[in-house]
Structure 1
Amino acid sequence: MSSILTNNGAMVALQTLKSINANLNKTQDEISTGKSVSTAKDNAAVWAISKVMEAEVSGFKAISSGLSLGASAVATARNGAEAITDLLTQMRDKIVTAQGVATDRDKLQNDVIALRDQITTVIKGAQFKGLNLLDGSAGASIDVLSSLDRSANGVTASSITVNSQNLSIGQYTANAVFGASTGGVSAAGDTAGFFLDAGASNTIEIDAGAIFAAGDSISVTIGGKTASYTFSATDVAATTPSDLGAVGLKNAIEKLGIAGLEIDFDSGTPGTLTLTNNGTDDLSVTAQYRNAGAGALGQLANINVSTAAGATTALNDIEAMLQASISAAADFGSAGKRLETQSNFLSKLTDSLTSGIGAMVDADMEATSARLQALQTQQQLGIQSLSIANQAPQAILSLFRG
């Protein structure tokens, strides 16, 4: 039956053409964007998964940047520690030379001072973007963000801990710290001592007028045993003799348990400890003040090879400091390797995730190109089919011609 009101052929041709045009538009979008899934409307599940993975990739790229900065800071510290090791080795050679009997110790001491000043320069200069891992200003350690770990409970951050190394020499004050009646330490940073004969007494005085800071410490070695006391904020603000740190040092010495040693706190003289040797053996007593800012190389401030005794002491001290700098360089080297390994891993992981995202959402351009050609041909045929269907009602006019 023919009808001028309902053209079924035209409706079929129109729906077919609409479908062709929709597919053609989608194909053209794929060619334009390069993606088969560019919005949630295209494929909600795949789009959602791809967005989570894209967020992971973006996060890993940010972490990689942080790792690069952390690795640079560690490399700077490692180079500084290696330079310090070389300088300490040169200083050690000077100290070894000073052990001889026919050497110009004064000139050697000048060389030692020059090397010490150079070490100070290296320590201060070994900083990256304000972060210095050699002078103690960074604290005990820093955490470098290394990964984001996703689990059923959410996302957590992982870090690589890099231990800082305090190789600073310290800034010693010029105030008297010990004003001992015989021997004792006369200036901050100095080390001096005396023999406490059996049955004899001597005093160690903590100068009430000295400028201390919280964290400064005093070490007293008696008969081979060492007692230390670190000044607290209360000590620093003290106004009474008993609070100047002398009582704290007295308690520390008593804990050594040295037979025959008597320690008295003299309230009549602020900060004075009286040591009495009631034993039968003489006791060697040495004392040292250590600034709170002094690190593993703090003893460099006391190196003095101008005398035979000083050269002998310096040889022992330099060995310990050389080992500290070598250990610091090795630790930074190990930490730098960890950061480098993690950075390489994240780079490969990012590439894998990017490939996975591409496999899900990227358009197959070869197949898309072939599909475009086919759809364009279908569109032309659809237009012609619709045109033919639209002309069908015109044939009904021939029924009314006489």
Structure 2
Amino acid sequence: MALNSVNTNSGALVALQNLQNTNAELATVQSRINTGKKVNSAKDNGAIWAIAQGQRSEISAMNAVKDSLDRGSSAIDVGLAAGESVSDLLVQLKEKALAATDKSLSTASRKALNEDFKAIRDQITTVVNNASFNGVNMIKDATTSAAFKALSNTSGTTIDVKAQNLALGGANVTVTAAMTIGTSTLATTALAAVNASIDNVSSALARLGTGAKSLDTHRAFVGKLSDALENGVGNLVDADLAKESARLQSLQTKQQLGVQALSIANQSTSILLGLFR
């Protein structure tokens, strides 16, 4: 037989414990709905939070990788555009040099051709000098080791795209800054240099284009990888809001019933007053 006492109300204690548990669950559900996350801090689930935090750092680092690849692609695209202009100018130089090999040209005509040749020749230097993006010029550096080193992953490994020297008198453009076509002999020499330069520049641009394609391909991969990591973190920590909403309704009903149960349990001791009447 249960003890009737005004000092200890077992029913009220049980009702209070159940109500406190319901309130705790309700607070958890409300937090998930407010933040959209089932694991919002290490207190919620230390192991999952640590894993998610590590992946967040990877995602953040991936942004730096994408920025580096973007800079590399932009620098190479500028170099390719300028390189194509250099190739077009060399085609024009070939026309002038070939015309100047004609020994029957008048002095005035040869002089006009020579002036055109020199103007186009000097324009190559202008194009090469202005082919910079963010301080990087992929067609001017004469060193054999010059390259754009774009980050390929978060550990610092790089994808190297070698620069191509398209400056006058360089490895690919054998036309020099002082070359002229003032005589048929000079024109013949210039024509040979221009022909070799056209072939060399085409090969150099092909190599540069291959490098640009490799950066674009890797940039697409990094974007997909970053998206996959974000989805993975979401799977770990995001709350199912439809499920939590349904649970919220259930807990709110349970909370109201708990309050009523506690009220009933608290009233049980007042029944003892009837025994003293």
Where does 1:334-373 land on structure 2 (aligned, <5 Å)? 334-373=210-249
Where does 1:239-258 land on structure 2 (aligned, <5 Å)? none
Of 51, 56, 60, 1:54 maps to 56
Tell me, in whole angstroms, the C-alpha distance in 2 between the residues paired with 1:382 and 1:102: 112
Aligned residues: 271
1:218 equivalent in structure 2: none
Quote the offset at 1:136 in angstroms.
1.0
Contact 1:147 1:158 in 2 (8 A): yes
Matched, 1:299 2:175: yes
Quote the offset at 1:369 in angstroms.
0.3
Q: Name which structure has the greater RCO, CA cutoff 8 Å, separation 6+.
A: 2
Q: 1:60-81 CA distances to partner (integer Å, 9 max, x unpaired)?
A: 1221112111100010011111
Where does 1:144-183 land on structure 2 (aligned, <5 Å)? 144-148=150-154, 156-169=155-168
Q: 1:372-392 CA distances to partner (integer Å, 9 max, x unpaired)?
A: 000000000000111111111
2:22 equivalent in structure 1: 20
- Per mean C-alpha deviation after superposition, the further-off stretch among 133-142 and 11-20 is 133-142
Tell me, in whole angstroms, the C-alpha distance in 1 between the residues paired with 2:45 and 2:110: 84
Q: Which amino acid aligns with 1:164?
A: A
TM-score, normalised to structure 1, is 0.65
Q: Which amino acid aligns with 2:167?
A: S
Where does 1:2-401 land on structure 2 (aligned, <5 Å)? 2-103=4-105, 104-136=109-141, 140-148=146-154, 156-169=155-168, 294=170, 296-297=172-173, 299-401=175-277
Q: Secondary structure at the match of 1:306?
A: coil
Structure that is richer in strand per residue: 1
Tell me, in whole angstroms, the C-alpha distance in 2 between the residues paired with 1:22 and 1:363: 17
Tell me, in whole angstroms, the C-alpha distance in 2 between the residues paired with 1:132 and 1:322: 20
Quote the offset at 1:334 in angstroms.
0.9
Tell me, in whole angstroms, the C-alpha distance in 2 between the residues paired with 1:146 and 1:75: 18
Q: Which amino acid aligns with 2:276?
A: F
Quote the offset at 1:105 in angstroms.
2.0
Contact 2:146 2:163 in 1 (8 A): yes
Q: Secondary structure at the match of 2:44?
A: coil
Q: 1:86-122 CA distances to partner (integer Å, 9 max, x unpaired)?
A: 1101101111111222232221111111101211110
Q: Which amino acid aligns with 2:164?
A: Q
Identity %: 42
Contact 2:174 2:194 in 1 (8 A): no
Q: Secondary structure at the match of 1:304?
A: coil
Tell me, in whole angstroms, the C-alpha distance in 1 between the residues paired with 2:235 and 2:7: 50
Quote the offset at 1:309 in angstroms.
1.2
TM-score, normalised to structure 2, is 0.93
Contact 1:37 1:362 in 2 (8 A): yes
Tell me, in whole angstroms, the C-alpha distance in 1 between the residues paired with 2:230 and 2:135: 35
